[in-house]
Amino acid sequence: MVAILELVKDPYERKARVIPGLLVSLPLLVPLLCVYGAKHPVLTSVIGLLGGCGAIYALASVARGRGKKLEEKLLKKWGGMPTTLALRHSDKFLDSVSKQRYHQQISTKLGIDMPSEQDEKSDPAKADDIYIGATKRLRELTRGNKNLLLKENIAYGFHRNMVAMKAVGILSCLCGLGYGGLIAGAFRVKPPHFEPIHLADPGLAAGLTILISGSLLMAWLFYFDKDAVRRMGFVYAERLFECLGSLPNPRARKKPAQAQAEP
């Protein structure tokens, strides 16, 4: 229960991990609760009990695990995290003026000497190691940022986990559409036949099931893909590097101490 409360309280855990897991199960939960919930209160109690006993935590863990596994594959395809790619001289996501400014701020405020374009060409692995180290240090310094940076980080994690759960989500939506058709009377198993006229007035339970399942299916088929994850990653990288301007200058912090020591 403590772990579940932490999941619900933490905005990243709740939005980037719990919600993708719940969206996968939604096409199946809606008809269960709408059709059988009122008639069988025991079923509603069992679903609530499962949630309290760790089903929510399990769904979030599955979404996170599949998301991390997908990320490893994407990094091999991309050649690195978007934060690393954006700092490379060879990458064109950032304009040259902004990239030069970020490199200078990293050198000045983080005390990390950034490689030149020639250094990057001669030893790409060493240059990437410096970019990764600079990004990690910047994330440590901006961990308390709860504004736009956190929102972009959540957006990246949400899209990554949704794409990772895509196959399961599509299967769940297809099951939801099929069950919605059965509830509405459009499909019958014995004898097997299809009467689409029943879809004109499917009823509340079937209508909600078909609407939610169809909407989620369209989202998984036409929106959530690897390109969307990459876009969100680069947007997060840009917001992260914009935080460099708000970091204090180490030299400025040393001046008052020196001024006190002079008298």
- Give the number of other CB atoms < 10 A from CB of residue 172: 22
Residue 260 lies in a domain: no
Q: Say if pTM beats, i.e. exceeds, 0.75.
A: yes
Cα gap 202→213, rounded to integer Å: 14
Residue 255: inside a domain, yes or no?
A: no
**Residue 222: Cβ within 10 Å count:** 8
The pLDDT tens digits of the residues spanning 81-111 come to: 999 999 999 999 999 999 999 999 999 999 9
Q: Does position 143 have pLDDT exceeding 60, yes or no?
A: yes
DSSP H helices, 10-165, are: 11-12, 19-31, 41-50, 56-78, 82-87, 96-109, 117-122, 124-141, 148-164
Examine residue 253 and state whether it is found in any structural domain, yes or no: no
Predicted pLDDT at 51: 56
Instruction: Select from 60, 37, 59 the least CA-distant residue to 47.
Output: 37
262 belongs to a structural domain: no
One-letter amino acid identity for 221? L
How many structural domains compose the chain? 1
**Whole-number Å distance between alpha carbons of 64 and 87:** 27
Tokens standing for 38? 């009122």
For residues 56 and 133, which has the higher predicted lDDT (pLDDT)? Answer: 133
Q: Residue 258: inside a domain, yes or no?
A: no
Question: What average pLDDT score do residues 180-194 get?
Answer: 72
Q: Which pLDDT does position 262 carry in this prediction?
A: 40
Least confident of 38-47, 138-147, 204-213, 235-244: 38-47
Residue 261 lies in a domain: no
Mapped onto helix, strand or coil, the DSSP state of residue 126 is helix
Question: Considering the domain boundaries, does residue 252 fall inside one?
Answer: no
What is the Cα–Cα distance from 179 to 117, expressed in whole angstroms?
Answer: 58
* Domain membership of residue 154 as a residue range: 2-247
- The CA distance from 66 to 141, in Å, is 28
Residue 46 scores a pLDDT above 70: no
**Domain assignment present for 18:** yes
pLDDT band at 263 (very low <50, low <70, confident <90, very high): very low
Q: Which residue has the higher pLDDT, 183 or 153?
A: 153
d(CA 251, CA 248): 9
